[in-house]
Amino acid sequence: MTKKIKMTVLLIFVLFVGFVSGLYFYDYIYGWRIDTITEKYFFEDEDYLQIIKPSSCKSSSQLNEYQGCENLYDLMEGGWEDADKNCENQWVEYYFDNDVFVEFVTIENYGYPGLFAQKDKIKDMEMITSDGTKFPIWLEESTNSQWYDVYHSTKYLRFNVLSSYDTLGIETCHLQEITVYGRNQY
Ligand SMILES: [Ca+2]
Ligand SMILES: [Ca+2]
């Protein structure tokens, strides 16, 4: 090879190496920026609509150790059942770690028809927030998920049972789920 060809090959090699490393460097910097932005706006920011799980709950009574109010926010089939009180003077309270902006709640009776038929169903409730605002809730006697708009900030929710469909011969009031949808407010 002549000196000129050798120099040309060397030059092409240097340019190629420079180009490839430049691509990696660009990708590295750009990728890092994208990751940072994504993390900042989509992962570190808690202000997006989500299911808000209470940190704890209380209820007026429960049938047994398996039928507690924790079952109301486990997104599973189990539910809360009162201690055979026929839905009378019953309530459930949800506590959150910090203020949350509640957009809406969904409430469900037992979805399994056999179980649904064996329990008393709630008809009227009132939901109360930290500042004492009351939201009337009327439930249809069905296994459908029922939706109630709220748009209110609170650190706690109380659900007072006011009336029921009172299935005769059945004393056990129940709910499968009360799911809270909203945004965290730190
Ligand atoms: Ca449940
Ligand atoms: Ca009854």
Residues 56 and 30 in one domain: no
Shared-domain flag, residues 151 and 118: yes
Band (pLDDT 50/70/90 cuts) for residue 20 is low
- CA atoms of 102 and 70, how far apart (whole Å): 19
* Same-domain pairing of 3 and 84: no
Total count of domains within the chain: 2
pTM of the model: 0.76
Q: What pLDDT is attached to residue 21? A: 63
- How far does residue 78's CA lie from ligand 1's centre (Å)? 4
Same domain, 165 and 83: yes
CA–centroid distance, 161 to ligand 2, in Å, is 14
Instruction: Give the percent of the chain with pLDDT over 70.
Output: 78
**How many A from CA of 56 to the centre of ligand 1?**
14
Reply yes or no on whether the pLDDT at 46 is more than 70.
no
Backbone conformation region of residue 80, classed left if phi is above 0, alpha if psi is from -120 to 50, else beta:
beta
Ligand 2 centroid to Cα of residue 87, in Å, is 8
20 C-alpha vs ligand 1 centroid, how far in Å?
55
Do residues 88 and 16 both lie within one domain?
no
Give the mean model confidence (pLDDT) for residues 130-159.
98
- Considering the domain architecture, whether residues 12 and 68 belong to the same structural domain is answered as no
Same-domain check for residues 74 and 139: yes
Separation of 32 CA from ligand 2 center, angstroms? 61
Do residue 82 and residue 139 come from a single domain?
Answer: yes
Q: Can you say whether residue 13 is alpha, beta or left, with left for phi > 0 and alpha for psi between -120 and 50 degrees?
A: alpha
Which ligand sits nearest to residue 163's alpha carbon? 2
Whole-number pLDDT of residue 41: 46
The yes-or-no verdict on residue 174 having pLDDT over 50 is: yes
For the CA of 171, the nearest ligand: 2
Query: What end-to-end distance do the CA atoms of the chain give, in Å?
Result: 71
Q: How far away, in angstroms, is 72 Cα from ligand 1 center?
A: 4
Q: Which ligand is nearest to the CA of 106?
A: 1
- For residues 55-81, give the mean pLDDT: 98
Q: Which of 10, 27, 45 is the last residue of a domain?
A: 45
Ligand 1 mean position to 69 CA, how many Å? 9
State pLDDT tens for residues 96-133. Answer: 999 999 999 999 999 999 999 999 999 999 999 999 99
DSSP the chain: --HHHHHHHHHHHHHHHHHHHHHHHHHHHHHHHHHHHHIIIIIS---S-EE---SEEEES--SSTTS-GGGGGSSSS--EE-SS-TTTT-EEEEEEEEEEEEEEEEEE--SSHHHHHTSEEEEEEEEEETT--EEEEE--SSSS-EEEEEEEEEEEEEEEEEEE---TT---EEESEEEEEEEE--
Instruction: Pick the closest to residue 82 from 181, 148, 172 (CA basis).
Output: 172
**Do 100 and 24 belong to one domain?**
no
- Rounded distance from Cα 135 to ligand 2 centre (Å): 25
The answer on 150 and 128 residing in a single domain is yes
Q: Which domain holds residue 142?
A: 50-184
Q: Which ligand is nearest to the CA of 78?
A: 1
